């Protein structure tokens, strides 16, 4: 398995991965929503504000993750949120997602990103270093339906501390 950075020339394959993966697990409507979301991110988000990492076996796309910038008006740290994440349905439970997330986090460290955040299953994401936080530490970009899943980790020596409580500027 090898990991790549970027998405140029792979947009259709990435779209299809998210569409099919989320359709299989969450239904057609969710698959369409997430597929459209990743397409819009790839089309409209500045390359400075979006990092995309993929896992391949030969030419086959196995998984893909997106990190997009979150800015807090009263905080000078560089913050990115991990979302969405997809691993091909028939390749899940093989550790591909965690290896891909670890790869992405290491890439962000190399770019000097201070904090990575995500929202999801704490048991899963804690395996790659994420810890539960509250919105007292950092406001989420959207209302959290699962507040226990609001997670973050420091990627530099700058600690995770309160961001001033302001809502991120997405």
Identify the bridge partners of residue 116 per DSSP, sorted by sequence position.
80, 153
Query: What's the pLDDT at 162?
Result: 59
pLDDT of residue 166: 53
Instruction: Let me know if domain 2-154 sits in CATH 3.40.630.30.
Output: yes
pLDDT band of residue 170 (cuts 50, 70, 90) is very low
- Per the CB < 8 A criterion, the answer to whether 65 and 73 are in contact is no
Alpha helices in the chain (DSSP H): 11-26, 28-44, 96-110, 122-125
In percent, how much of the chain has pLDDT > 90?
A: 81
Cα dihedral sign, 39-83-115-76: positive
Predicted confidence at residue 82, as pLDDT, reads 98
Q: 19-54 as b/e, with b when 16 or more CB fall inside 10 Å?
A: bebbbeeeeeeebeebbebbbebbeeeeeeebbbbb
Q: Within a 10 A sphere around the Cβ of 82, how many other Cβ atoms? A: 26
> Does position 73 have pLDDT exceeding 90, yes or no?
no
The strand pair at 115-119 and 131-132 is best described as unpaired
Q: Cα(62)–Cα(42) distance, rounded to whole angstroms?
A: 18
What is the enclosing helix (H) or strand (E) of 121? Answer: none
Reported as a pLDDT band with limits 50, 70 and 90, residue 169 is very low
Region of 6 on the Ramachandran plot (φ > 0 left; ψ -120 to 50 alpha; else beta):
left
DSSP reduced 3-state for 55: strand
Residue 121 predicted with pLDDT over 90: yes
pTM confidence score: 0.93
């Amino acid at each position: 398995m090898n990991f790549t950075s970027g998405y140029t020339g792979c947009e259709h394959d990435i779209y299809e991965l998210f569409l099919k993966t989320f359709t299989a697990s969450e239904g057609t409507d969710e698959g369409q929503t997430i597929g459209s979301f990743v397409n819009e991110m790839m089309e409209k988000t500045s390359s400075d504000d979006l990092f995309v990492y993929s896992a391949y076996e030969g030419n086959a796309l196995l998984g893909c993750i997106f990190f997009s910038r979150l800015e807090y008006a009263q905080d000078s740290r560089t913050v990115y949120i991990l979302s969405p994440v997809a691993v091909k349905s028939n390749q899940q439970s093989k550790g591909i997602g965690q290896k891909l997330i670890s790869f992405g986090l290491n890439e962000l460290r190399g770019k000097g990103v201070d904090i990575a955040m995500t929202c999801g299953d704490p048991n899963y994401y804690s395996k790659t270093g994420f810890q539960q936080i509250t919105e007292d530490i950092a406001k989420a970009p959207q209302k959290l339906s699962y507040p226990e899943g609001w997670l973050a980790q420091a990627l530099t020596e700058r600690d995770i501390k309160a961001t001033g409580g302001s809502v991120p500027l997405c």
